[in-house]
Amino acid sequence: MTRLNSCSVTGGACGSDVPAIEVRGLSFTYPGAEAPVLDGLDWSVPQGAFALLVGGTGSGKSTLLSLLKPEISPTGECAGELRVLGESVAGMDVRASAERVGYVFQDPENQIVCESVWHEMAFGLENLGMPRDEIRRRVAETSYFFGLEDWLHRDTDTLSGGRKQLLSLAAVLALRPRVLLLDEPTSQLDLVAEKNFLHALFRVNRELGCTVVVATHQPRPMLEYATCAYRIEDGRVCEVADIASLGHREGLFSGEVPGWGASRRAKNGVFNSVSGQLGSLDPRAGAPGAKKGLKSDKSGEFEAQILSQDDLGVPSRAGGRRILPKMHAGSAATLSEGWFRYDRVSGWVLRGLDVTFSAGAVHAIVGGNGCGKSTMLSVLAKTAKLQRGRMVRGAASAALLPQNPKALLVAETVHDELMEWASTCGYDEAAAQEQTARLGLAGLETRHPYDLSGGQRQLLALAKLLLIGPELLLLDEPTKGLDLASRRIIAHALRDHAKAGGTVIMATHDLDFAEQVADDIAMMFDGEIACMEPPADFFADNVFYRA
Amino acid sequence: MPVDNMRERSAIEPVAAFSMSHPAVPALYMALTLGLTMFSMQPVLIALSLAGGLAYGFATRGAARTLSALRWQLPVILIISLVNPLFSASGSTEVFRIGMRAVYLESMVYGLCMGGLFVASVLWFEAAASMLEYDKVLALLGNAAPVLALMISMCMRLIPQFLRRGRTVLAVQDAIDVPGRAPADPVRSRLRASSVLMGWGMEDSLERADAMRSRGWGAAARRTTYARYRLGRADVAALVGLALFGAAAVAVAWAATTQYSFYPQLSVPAPWPGYIVYAAWMVLPCVLHAIDEKRFG
């Protein structure tokens, strides 16, 4: 594929000194909102940059990006000047915009239009009325660049999330845009898929010379690729001088170092000294240091709002395994020799799974895509039945939070949503109100669930399940795509649930979350539990798999 | 089943006849074959068509699946042949009487032929489905109706997603297990699931619409439809050959059908070289399949 910065591809002014994106005095107000989201914003991204745009939920990242694509920009009051490669955005028609500016959305499920991979890649080209032979050539070229040939004839619905997102990127790139805008492109992906996607994006940037702008609230995995970073705050954009500063990990409990470090050193003294020489191979080398002083203004504010009682939030873990006394109280669920497959022709998903989940603790299940995590949750939820082996559930009641909270939402308002099961499950208005406050949803009762942010929607789904008071809470990817504030609230809710004697079993890709919240972490592989240890031991022994 | 748990099955499918040709070739063959089968009410032609359809089923779908389909197909033929005399009391050879009603041999044979014709049509429709996969239909449709072709494509994309989501919603409902809670009424829970799915689908459609627009939806006055097939010289030759061959088969069918009569007395078909042409037409996909098989060892 030729580099995309040859002038003949898109025409227009494209001297290399013209910035890829130039925004002057941009203000934008949503209809009905009192304050503008963007307020006198100036922003310039040089050509060929790999730029990060960071900022919290609702800071206007997505608004800013979509304003650069006139055909998808939201309605509202807009003033100011936007230029892409020196050309005014206002003057671009649909064709010009599609050929110059590519846009990749957050959710891989929703942006795929066609049924098969090759057809999806051709979709944009078909829209432009391109002749068949030209489409053939572009599809071929793009497939080779991304290595899609092997699954070119697959149905898009059967692809994993990571591949779906890679396909979305390829489908946009087939139009040969010179500027690529991505809105939280990896928030729905697991660790490995995220790295694959970012690597592909990196190649697009460096090999094709395409300017890349990624809006994200978790910039950590992208830092090594980024050439510049911008923070959007209070409706304005400012450049982040020190990109590495975006890489620190935020603590979920009051922003302080979780107490695992000390106990691990005491336990694994020998390993520690050896790995000290190995340096980079020690999973936790330098981690305690890196975690110091990461209390940002935001987390401080957050604490004041939500964590007025500090002792409630921070689990005391200095004394080693806090759950030990409760272990004897019984197990919440036990699987012995569990085998499961979806149908006769597909392979076994669970293969001789043996595991016991103790009551009154938070258990995290980690592992790659298709390792059987979700299937195990279905078995524990009794929605799938083992073909061989036994599942005994000690807990009297249970509930399952699915990966996508939309599967739980049915009512018109947040309040009605929370009250849906009030009569059948026996709770009242007061309990619902308390739960709303606890999960930071206060003041949103009259909103439509679909008007909430992704994080708020997840919290609403969790609140709904917590209200029915399940002893065993099963969660599938509870923190997928969530910002720090929501992850903190969920972390506290789960710890509280365990503290009250309940049991939490969550399948997650979020190792950072698992490390700080779970009492033990189980790694699932090939349909069985490869190991199950407290986080400290788990991460001490892992060389490749770590937060 | 969660998508991520689906094993990525490699596409080991039996190779359908005409799989290397432009979709117009199997489309022409299937249109002619279905027409011949459905309009030739003549015992020999029906038998030949049925044999051709069965042979193709054996070759591509395997003996087990074809035979297991016969388990309902044979009874259908029998039932039609037994029921037909009750409705049409014509003919000259009386077999037996039920009360006041005479049952004639001619009308039983007519019913038998009807049943055979029906089953043969079913078999050929199945063959058509295997020869004309969805993307080939799309390629044929695409030039004439690009928007319709895209709509079909989107439906094919969304239906499996919709079903999968439906199962998720029901599973989440079923997973709620609180002592004392009455088991969910199945009708109610389906209703609730459909309303969850509606909200979910409509919300997602907004984003999908944006994704479509951002890739140039509506930019050109006329969309093109990309299809991998090109009408090559071999395809044109095949089309011309099939058209000539088909014309001969139609002539044979027309001659044989007009000369044959069920009532008042069954005519006895005489040996006729025309039947060879018809048989050759019906067995053509099977022969092509055999040649393919041999080529690949």
DSSP characters over A177-200? -SEEEEESTTTTS-HHHHHHHHHH
The mean-pLDDT minimum among A197-201, A337-341, A449-453, B12-16 falls in: B12-16
Q: What are phi and psi of A111, to 5 degrees?
A: -100, 0
Residue A339: name the closest of A378, A385, A371, A381 by CA.
A385
Q: How many CB atoms lie within 10 A of CB A284?
A: 20
- The residues facing A533 across adjacent strands are A521
Interface of A with B in 4-23 (CB under 8 A): none
pLDDT reported for residue B101:
79
pLDDT reported for residue A540:
86
Alpha helices in A440-532 (DSSP H): 454-467, 484-499, 511-517
Looking at the complex, does the CB of residue A113 fall below 8 Å from at least one CB of chain B? yes
Q: Determine the distance in angstroms separating the CA of A256 from the nearest CA of chain B, rounded to an integer.
A: 36
What CA dihedral angle connects A108, A112, A117 and A123, to 10 degrees? -140
At residue A15 the predicted structure's pLDDT band, cuts being 50, 70 and 90, is: low
At residue A315 the predicted structure's pLDDT band, cuts being 50, 70 and 90, is: very low
Q: Is residue B211's pLDDT more than 50?
A: yes
Contact B177 A118 (CB under 8 A): no
Provide the 8-state DSSP code for B268: P
| The three-state (H, E, C) secondary structure of B17-72, written as one string | CCCCCCCHHHHHHHHHHHHHHHHCCCHHHHHHHHHHHHHHHHHHHCHHHHHHHHHH
pLDDT reported for residue B8:
41
Higher pLDDT, A225 or A261: A225
Looking at the complex, does the CB of residue A171 fall below 8 Å from at least one CB of chain B? yes
Higher pLDDT, B169 or A257: B169
Spell out the long-range contacts of A449-457 with Cβ–Cβ below 8 A and sequence spacing 24 or more.
Answer: A449/A409, A449/A411, A449/A413, A449/A414, A449/A417, A450/A409, A450/B199, A450/B203, A452/A414, A453/A57, A453/A58, A454/A57, A454/A481, A454/A482, A455/A57, A455/A482, A455/A483, A455/A485, A455/A486, A456/A486, A457/A405, A457/A406, A457/A409
User: Per-residue DSSP letters for B94-155?
Assistant: EEEEETTEEEEHHHHHHHHHHHHHHHHHHHHHHHHHHHS-HHHHHHHHHTT-HHHHHHHHHH
Higher pLDDT, B224 or B32: B32
What's the whole-number average pLDDT of chain B?
87
Q: Are B91 and B106 in contact (CB under 8 A)?
A: yes
Q: Which residues contact A193 (CB under 8 A, 6 or more apart)?
A: A160, A161, A162, A163, A165, A186, A369
Q: Are A531 and A539 in contact (CB under 8 A)?
A: no
At residue B224 the predicted structure's pLDDT band, cuts being 50, 70 and 90, is: confident
Q: Is residue A72's pLDDT more than 80?
A: yes
Contact A470 B1 (CB under 8 A): no
Is residue A370 left, alpha or beta, with left meaning phi > 0 and alpha meaning psi from -120 to 50? left
Q: Is residue A343's pLDDT more than 60?
A: yes
Give the side-chain half-sphere CA count within 13 A for A385: 2
Q: Is residue A219's pLDDT more than 60?
A: yes
Q: What are phi and psi of B210, to 5 degrees?
A: -65, -40
Q: Which residue of B has its CA nearest to A160?
A: B4
Residues in chain A with CB shorter than 8 Å from the CB of B4 are 160-161, 369-370, 374
Cα–Cα distances (Å) from A216 to A60, A248, B42, B87, in that order, read 11, 15, 71, 74
E strand spans, A133-184: 179-183
Encode A348-377: b = buried (16+ Cβ within 10 Å), e = exposed.
bbbeebebbbbbbbbbbbbbbbbbbbbbbb
Q: Is residue B114's pLDDT more than 80?
A: yes
Residue A46: name the closest of A89, A85, A78 by CA.
A85
Pairwise CA distance, residues A101 & A119, whole Å: 21
- The residues facing A41 across adjacent strands are A26
Pairwise CA distance, residues A172 & A180, whole Å: 9
pLDDT reported for residue A279:
41
Cα–Cα distances (Å) from A45 to A49, A179, A232, B291, in that order, read 7, 10, 14, 61
Percent of chain A with pLDDT over 70: 83
Tokens of A9: 């591809």
Higher pLDDT, A297 or A403: A403
Residues in chain A with CB shorter than 8 Å from the CB of B224 are 125-126, 129-132, 135
Q: Are A260 and A317 in contact (CB under 8 A)?
A: yes
Give the side-chain half-sphere CA count within 13 A for A294: 22
Q: Is residue A299's pLDDT more than 60?
A: no
Tokens of A184: 């939280």
Higher pLDDT, B181 or A217: A217
What's the whole-number average pLDDT of chain A?
82
Pairwise CA distance, residues B239 & A191, whole Å: 53
Give the side-chain half-sphere CA count within 13 A for A273: 4
Strand order in the sheet with A331-340: A350-358, A331-340, A388-393
Q: Determine the distance in angstroms separating the CA of B242 from the nearest CA of chain A, rounded to an integer.
A: 27
Cα–Cα distances (Å) from B231 to A101, A152, A537, in that order, read 35, 22, 64
Contact A127 B160 (CB under 8 A): no
The 3-state DSSP class for residue A531 equals strand
pLDDT reported for residue A14:
52
Contact A115 B156 (CB under 8 A): yes
Q: How many CB atoms lie within 10 A of CB A17?
A: 8
Q: Is residue A204's pLDDT more than 90?
A: yes
pLDDT reported for residue A46:
95
pLDDT reported for residue B86:
82
- pLDDT tens figures, A142-197: 999 999 989 998 889 889 889 999 999 999 999 999 999 999 999 888 888 999 99
Pairwise CA distance, residues A369 & B4, whole Å: 6
Q: What are phi and psi of A109, to 5 degrees?
A: -65, -40
Give the side-chain half-sphere CA count within 13 A for A432: 21
The mean-pLDDT minimum among A138-147, A369-378, B1-10, B107-116 falls in: B1-10
Q: Is residue A337's pLDDT more than 50?
A: yes
Percent of chain A with pLDDT over 90: 55
pLDDT reported for residue A3:
53
The 3-state DSSP class for residue B222 equals coil
Residue A499: name the closest of A304, A237, A271, A314 by CA.
A314
Q: Are A466 and A493 in contact (CB under 8 A)?
A: yes
User: Per-residue DSSP letters for B175-209?
Assistant: H-B-TTPPPPPHHHHHHHHHHHHHHHHHHHHHHHH
Contact B226 A122 (CB under 8 A): yes
pLDDT reported for residue A491:
94
Looking at the complex, does the CB of residue A525 fall below 8 Å from at least one CB of chain B? no
Element (H, E) at A245: none
Pairwise CA distance, residues B84 & B116, whole Å: 13
The ipTM (two decimal places) reads 0.80
Q: Is residue B15's pLDDT more than 90?
A: no
Interface of A with B in 319-378 (CB under 8 A): 342, 346-347, 349, 369-370, 372, 374-375, 378
pLDDT reported for residue B139:
84
pLDDT reported for residue A542:
77
Rounded to 10°, the helix A484-499/A454-467 angle is: 10
Contact B181 A424 (CB under 8 A): yes
Give the side-chain half-sphere CA count within 13 A for A162: 19
CA-atom Rg of chain B in angstroms: 26
